[in-house]
Amino acid sequence: MFAAWKNWRDARRVRKMGYTRQEWEAAVGDWPLMARFEGKERTVLFDLSLRFLARKSIASGGGFAYTDAMCLKVATMACVPILYLGLDWYDGWYTVILYEGAFIPNRPHLSEDGVVHAQGPVLAGEAWHQGPVILSWDAISDACAPDNRASNVVIHEMSHKLDMRRNGANG
């Protein structure tokens, strides 16, 4: 019964957002990995991406002015690891924070040599246990470069979120 209610709520929110398949295709068209998804699998990824946006909020980090196309791309990349698992695997957190470039966390950081620094290192992404996923748009854009087939900050951080459901992220 609860699953039926979640599906109804998601469908209602997706309709209200009003994104079209053409907008989605345009947003993700430059990502080389999309060539792997065809037919029904591509349709499932489209639907899952919109449901991701229905359940998660995207917030600006540092005043970054993101676009709807950016949100669609982030959602699609985020849904690749759970394409055959389902969106419920991302339950327990609600926000993606999107910075324009790399960011420096404002908290103490213990370096490998044992020195405590006032701020953390420069990051392209970060996933907090039961908290937000923080991403750099520059790093996301790098994942769309034609010669980049192995690096994707969104998939990396979402994999940490999946790890955190079990024993925590491991790097």
Residue 114 confidence (pLDDT): 81
Could you tell me the pLDDT band of residue 157, with boundaries at 50, 70 and 90? very high
- pTM for this prediction: 0.89
- The sign of the CA dihedral 86, 133, 25, 80 is negative
Could you tell me the pLDDT band of residue 169, with boundaries at 50, 70 and 90? low
Which domains, and CATH codes, for the chain?
2-164 (1.10.472.150)
- Residue 57 CA to residue 51 CA, distance in Å, equals 11
